């Protein structure tokens, strides 16, 4: 931060001032020691020295703990969140694993953080016993005497923290020799009848008692410091710097140290802001004007900020950015620079404004701050940018402006993203604990739903009532300890002249969906009667708009609709009734929200063909089309057109038709699928899928195969939505029809047409540290009946060594076939069910034959007689040698009818570049001997490759859902 470097005389005065402060500190400590009961607030005095080369901070902390409860306390708990980086078994490491992030598990010791406690003594300098609760980021200090209600005790901590690298969570030491410090020293856990002991899970939701804090901080020369605390007595000495930081009724002190002087101060009428948020294309003076405008908005809509300084940093913004279009690279972002800068600054400022002054439980009652914060963001856009579109400048470009997405207002994104979660049946109640939310809900959907709920209330009760609620709540509860959501509810009820129990009991407290429709309309010359149906049974208010030529002529709210209810309104020229026209209500399905008064035929929705996927437009039946191109060896590149109805939001019925043209075969190929998905509960049996699919392609020159597959599947998931475990039961019947080239008739040793009934149960726990999956598969046709079992397990050990194991066994219960087309295979199944993505499924030599798909035997070497028409049992194993270089080995037995069982094996080197997506296998030794010494070794190398865009996208989105 910029400061004036004084001359020698000024430095002398500063030293005198510093001495006076030290004398004052001694006096304060004396008063605390002699008269501890004078203090009603926790007092915290921290002396910390940051050692840049070792990334360590030496800390001496004097903490006066005041027992505000009505019970005696024999043990006190303090948060030590820096210790969350210390090993692979902390809650933070486990959270990373749930999100498919191995960085903390694979970290080197020098990259980790930890806390080393030297001593803990009381005011009598008597040593106190302490322990770390399990592997928690909390220490328990046992007192020598019970601390009675209203009394205080002084604790003296001496400890050293080693800061982690910032690559894990952003906190710690950065690659640019800077430091981001938050929750870095001991803070008292909250006691409200029971201790709130929360682990660090990278959620930025530490729950700590507030205290009056002073930090004497010494740090290396050449760094610039910014903080959320008030700074004074900045001094420079040879090789270092020193600063005093003060916070009254504050939580922890946040520090950002950078090698460049990037932070500036902006002084508004009621607020001082320290920030480094900027925009390269938005001039400095307009930036300052925008910041003052936002400061005035916050003061007007919340009230005066109770602290000396509000820190609004780029670092904080990156921890919780504006998701969506705003995250596109800066050169293609569609928003004007001023709007983009203001929204970025506004979100970060509101978040810190509330976090630093409303002390609710951020893990259990986070939704209150979200509701207020996002409501204010919605309000800001309505007031200052009422015409802003979600697609920004793109909404005016030819070819894009006709998309429904381009016509959506900026604030429509809150309903869109919150509904994205609901449509996938993974939405969670706003009261769900922050650490139990799946990542998409934790980062996006639940916050948006909370803010949208406040807009819903504002539309229902009146904007002034909600604005008054926010002002009143902030005024009366800022800086108060142990504020709860019940206090927020009482404030809303105070300003409401209508019943709002539904908001807390239904909207906030459950994950129930809101969905209404207009079922029937009858009209007379002077009135309109209609029936409203509550499709989900969630009894909340619903708005009805009367439209005439797309202009609103009437607006009503209706309540008390348990199932169906008839209402009558005066007729005012309406030609259409629309539910939730302003979309303030996050309704599950808006496609049936309107009803025309002009007869049945005029109510039919028009068919709209549209290039590429779009958001749902409730007034059209949308059909999307997009050019595609597929590839296999026999058809070559097959361009075509994909027709489908899938929008950005999932819908129950989906169809996908993709006719393509094979240039090699000069004929049409392609596929089509129709699916109806029915979600049930969140856990247990949560989904049923009914589907019918068809496909046609070529498996040899002038030889076509076609499939027809009706299927039904059931899905189960555990009670913990964060778990990646899934179970499914699939029942399908696949009919295969083949037309054979005349030259191949003698080579085909099976009937060209056949059908197989298939039942498979699968259990997968997709965990990056302990992956396990198994399935049992049964197939029956007129020629055979067979059973198969597969078990796969991957373990990442504490030593960072990974072990991969797979076991496969299959047995024919009945086999009338005279060929190996339906037999079990060691290395390259014939894929008679056409499930596997072979680039050249009929190849026995050449590059395409070297593609390996780990199925059935799972071998990588091409051994002689690789088929079994009786039974097979194999085991595949691999372990890493160095990073993604692994050694693999396969062993097994296979048996054909009338023959003895054969023992088979192979081994080699695996380059596991991206597991299941891109791998290379180099055989070394097998039943064939030393393969690596053979002249044709290049033809024996095998590869795994995935080219499906949908599968590849899943690799990046899996951690969000």
pLDDT at 239 over 60: yes
CATH 3.40.250.10 is the classification of domain 366-508: no
pLDDT in tens, 745-767: 666 667 788 999 999 999 999 88
Q: For residues 149 and 68, what is the distance between their CA atoms, to the nearest angstrom?
A: 6
pLDDT at 25: 43
pLDDT at 330: 66
pLDDT confidence tier of residue 960, bands split at 50, 70 and 90: confident
CATH architecture of 8-262: Sandwich (2.60)
The residues facing 244 across adjacent strands are: 216, 232
> 172: alpha, beta or left, given left = phi > 0 and alpha = psi -120 to 50?
left
Average pLDDT on 188-204 reads: 94
pLDDT at 957: 66
Answer whether 180's CB lies under 8 Å from 256's CB. Answer: yes
Answer whether 877's CB lies under 8 Å from 890's CB. Answer: yes
pLDDT at 143: 97
pLDDT at 113: 96
pLDDT at 339 over 70: yes
pLDDT at 367: 97
Name which of 6-20, 396-410, 707-721 the model is least confident about: 6-20
Is the C-alpha dihedral spanning 267, 272, 274, 280 positive or negative?
A: negative
pLDDT confidence tier of residue 278, bands split at 50, 70 and 90: confident
Cβ neighbours of residue 938 closer than 8 Å, sequence gap 6 or more = none
Place of tokens 């609760």: 133
Question: From the centroid of its chain, how far is CA 296?
Answer: 33
- Which three-class secondary structure state does DSSP give residue 811? strand
pLDDT confidence tier of residue 16, bands split at 50, 70 and 90: very low
Cβ neighbours of residue 294 closer than 8 Å, sequence gap 6 or more = 342, 345, 346, 349, 380
Average pLDDT on 918-946 reads: 91
What percentage of residues in the chain have a pLDDT greater than 90? 69
Please state which CATH class domain 516-604 belongs to.
Answer: mainly beta
Long-range pairs of 333-338 with CB within 8 A, sequence gap ≥ 24: 333/392, 334/391, 334/392, 334/393, 334/394, 334/395, 335/388, 335/392, 335/393, 336/392, 336/393, 337/279, 337/281, 337/282, 338/282, 338/286, 338/290
Q: DSSP secondary structure string, 604-629?
A: SPEEEEEES-----TTEEEEEEEEEE
pLDDT in tens, 701-738: 888 889 999 999 999 999 999 999 999 999 999 999 98
**Which of 183-197, 311-325, 597-611 shows the highest mean pLDDT?**
183-197
pLDDT at 953: 62
pLDDT in tens, 434-454: 999 999 999 999 999 999 999
Answer whether 417's CB lies under 8 Å from 390's CB. Answer: no
pLDDT at 486: 97
**To the nearest whole number, what is the mean pLDDT of the chain?**
89
Q: For residues 843 and 633, what is the distance between their CA atoms, to the nearest angstrom?
A: 9
pLDDT confidence tier of residue 507, bands split at 50, 70 and 90: very high
pLDDT at 956 over 80: no
pLDDT at 954: 62
pLDDT at 571 over 70: yes
Name which of 16-25, 135-144, 300-309, 940-949 the model is least confident about: 16-25
pLDDT in tens, 152-164: 999 999 999 999 9
Per-residue tokens: 334: 């569609």
Q: DSSP secondary structure string, 728-748?
A: EEEEEEEEEEEE--GGGTTT-
pLDDT at 798: 78
pLDDT in tens, 791-840: 999 998 878 888 999 999 999 999 999 889 999 999 999 989 988 888 88
pLDDT at 9: 31
Distances in whole angstroms, Cα of residue 407 to Cα of each of 323, 378, 396, 415, 520: 19, 17, 9, 15, 30
Domains 8-262 and 516-604 share a fold: yes
Per-residue tokens: 734: 């696949």
pLDDT at 512: 93
pLDDT at 178: 95
Q: Please give the residue that has the higher pLDDT: either 603 or 283.
A: 283
Please state which CATH class domain 612-957 belongs to.
Answer: mainly beta
pLDDT in tens, 524-539: 889 999 999 999 989 9
Q: What angle do CA 695, 697, 698 make, to 5 degrees?
A: 150
pLDDT at 738: 87
pLDDT at 549: 85
Answer whether 242's CB lies under 8 Å from 221's CB. Answer: no
Q: For residues 179 and 170, what is the distance between their CA atoms, to the nearest angstrom?
A: 9
Name which of 187-191, 494-498, 557-561, 798-802 the model is least confident about: 798-802
Domain boundaries, the chain: 8-262, 366-508, 516-604, 612-957
pLDDT at 660 over 90: yes
Distances in whole angstroms, Cα of residue 424 to Cα of each of 350, 434, 652, 680: 30, 20, 10, 11
Average pLDDT on 297-325 reads: 91
Q: Please give the residue that has the higher pLDDT: either 341 or 98.
A: 341
Distances in whole angstroms, Cα of residue 716 to Cα of each of 675, 680, 686, 713, 951: 18, 10, 6, 10, 21
pLDDT in tens, 50-80: 999 999 999 999 999 999 999 999 999 999 9
pLDDT at 7: 36
Q: For residues 356 and 832, what is the distance between their CA atoms, to the nearest angstrom?
A: 63
The DSSP bridge pattern shows strands 240-250 and 172-173 to be: unpaired
What percentage of residues in the chain have a pLDDT greater than 70? 92
pLDDT at 568 over 50: yes
pLDDT at 597 over 90: no
Q: For residues 303 and 311, what is the distance between their CA atoms, to the nearest angstrom?
A: 17
DSSP H helices, 810-906, are: none
pLDDT at 282 over 60: yes
């Amino acid at each position: 931060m910029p400061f004036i470097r004084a001359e020698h005389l000024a430095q002398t005065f500063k030293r005198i001032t510093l001495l006076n402060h030290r004398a004052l500190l001694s006096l304060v400590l004396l008063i605390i020691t002699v008269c501890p009961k004078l203090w009603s607030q926790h007092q915290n005095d921290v002396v910390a020295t940051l050692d840049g080369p070792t990334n360590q901070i030496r800390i001496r902390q004097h903490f006066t703990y005041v027992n505000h409860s009505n019970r005696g306390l024999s043990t006190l708990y303090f948060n030590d969140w820096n210790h969350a980086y210390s090993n692979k078994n902390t809650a933070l490491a486990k959270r990373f694993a749930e999100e498919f992030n191995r960085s903390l598990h694979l970290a080197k010791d020098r990259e980790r953080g930890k806390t080393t406690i030297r001593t803990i003594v009381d005011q009598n300098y008597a040593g106190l016993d302490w322990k770390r609760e399990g592997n928690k980021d909390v220490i328990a200090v046992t007192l020598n005497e019970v601390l009675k209600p209203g009394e205080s005790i002084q604790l003296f901590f001496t400890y050293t923290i080693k800061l982690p690298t910032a690559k894990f969570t952003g906190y710690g030491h950065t690659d640019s020799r800077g430091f981001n410090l938050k929750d870095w020293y001991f803070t008292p856990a909250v006691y409200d009848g029971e201790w709130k002991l929360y682990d660090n899970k990278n959620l930025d939701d530490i729950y700590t008692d507030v205290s009056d804090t002073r930090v004497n901080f010494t740090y290396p020369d050449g760094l610039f410091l910014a903080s959320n605390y008030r700074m004074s007595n900045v001094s420079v000495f040879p090789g270092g710097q020193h600063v005093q930081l003060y916070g009254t009724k504050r939580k922890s002190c946040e520090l950002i140290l950078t090698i460049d002087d990037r932070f500036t101060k902006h002084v508004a009428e009621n607020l001082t802001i320290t920030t480094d948020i900027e925009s390269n294309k938005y001039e400095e003076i307009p930036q300052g004007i925008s910041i003052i405008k936002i400061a005035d908005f916050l003061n007007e809509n919340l009230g005066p900020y109770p602290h000396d300084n509000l820190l609004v940093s780029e670092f904080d913004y990156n921890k919780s950015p504006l998701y969506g279009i705003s995250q596109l690279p800066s050169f293609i972002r569609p928003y004007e620079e001023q709007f983009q800068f203001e929204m970025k600054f506004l979100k970060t400022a509101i978040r810190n404004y509330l976090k630093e002054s409303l002390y609710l439980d951020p893990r259990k009652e986070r939704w209150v701050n979200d509701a207020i914060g996002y409501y204010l963001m919605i309000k800001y856009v309505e007031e200052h940018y009422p015409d802003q579109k979600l697609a920004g400048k793109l909404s005016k470009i030819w070819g894009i402006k006709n998309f429904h997405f381009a016509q959506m207002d900026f604030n429509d994104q809150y309903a869109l993203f919150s509904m994205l979660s609901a449509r996938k049946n993974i939405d969670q109640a706003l009261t769900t604990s922050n650490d139990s939310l799946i990542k998409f809900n934790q980062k996006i959907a639940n916050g948006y739903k909370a803010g949208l709920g406040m807009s819903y209330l504002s539309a229902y009760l009146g904007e002034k009532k909600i604005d008054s609620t926010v002002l009143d709540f902030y005024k009366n509860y800022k800086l108060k300890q142990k504020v709860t959501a019940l206090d927020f509810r009482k404030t809303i009820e105070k300003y409401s002249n209508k019943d709002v129990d539904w908001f807390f009991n239904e909207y906030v407290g459950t994950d129930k969906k809101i969905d209404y429709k207009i079922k029937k309309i009858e009209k007379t010359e002077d009135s309109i009667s209609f029936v409203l149906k509550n499709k989900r049974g969630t009894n909340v208010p619903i708005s009805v708009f009367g439209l005439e030529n797309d202009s609103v002529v009437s607006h009503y709210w209706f309540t008390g609709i348990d199932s169906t209810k008839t209402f009558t309104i005066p007729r005012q020229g309406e030609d259409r009734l629309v539910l939730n026209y302003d979309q303030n209500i996050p309704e599950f399905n808006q496609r049936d929200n309107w009803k025309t008064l002009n007869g049945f035929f005029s109510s039919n929705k028009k068919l709209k063909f549209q290039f590429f996927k779009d958001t749902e437009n409730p007034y059209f039946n949308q059909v999307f089309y997009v050019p595609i191109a597929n590839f296999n060896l026999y058809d070559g590149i097959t361009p075509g057109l994909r027709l489908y109805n899938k929008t950005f939001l999932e819908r129950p019925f989906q169809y996908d038709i993709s006719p393509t043209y094979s240039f090699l075969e000069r004929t049409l190929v392609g596929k089509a699928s129709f699916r109806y998905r029915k979600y049930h509960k969140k856990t247990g049996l949560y989904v049923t899928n009914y589907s019918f699919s068809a496909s046609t392609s070529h498996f040899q020159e002038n030889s076509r195969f076609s499939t027809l597959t009706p299927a039904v599947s059931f899905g189960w998931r555990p009670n913990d939505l964060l778990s990646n475990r899934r179970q499914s039961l699939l029942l399908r019947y696949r009919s295969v029809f083949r037309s054979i080239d005349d030259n191949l008739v003698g080579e085909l040793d099976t009937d060209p047409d056949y059908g197989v009934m298939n039942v498979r149960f699968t259990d997968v726990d997709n965990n990056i540290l302990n992956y396990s999956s198994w399935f049992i598969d049964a197939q029956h046709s007129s020629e055979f009946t067979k059973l198969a079992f597969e078990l796969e397990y991957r373990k990442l050990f504490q030593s960072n060594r990974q072990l991969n194991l797979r076991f496969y066994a299959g047995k024919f219960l009945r086999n009338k076939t005279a060929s190996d087309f339906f037999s079990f295979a060691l290395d390259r199944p014939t894929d008679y069910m056409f499930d596997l993505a072979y680039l050249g499924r009929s190849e026995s030599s050449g590059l395409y034959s070297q593609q390996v798909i780990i199925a059935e035997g799972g071998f990588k070497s091409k051994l002689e007689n690789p088929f079994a028409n009786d039974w097979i049992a194999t085991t595949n194993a691999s372990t890493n040698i160095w990073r993604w270089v692994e050694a693999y080995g396969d062993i097994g037995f296979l048996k054909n009818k009338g023959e003895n069982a054969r023992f088979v094996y192979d081994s080699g080197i695996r380059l596991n570049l991206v597991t299941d997506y891109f791998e290379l296998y180099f055989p070394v030794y097998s039943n064939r001997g030393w393969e690596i010494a053979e002249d044709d070794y290049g033809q024996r190398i095998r590869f795994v490759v995935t080219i499906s865009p949908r599968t590849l996208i899943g690799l990046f989105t899996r951690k969000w859902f």
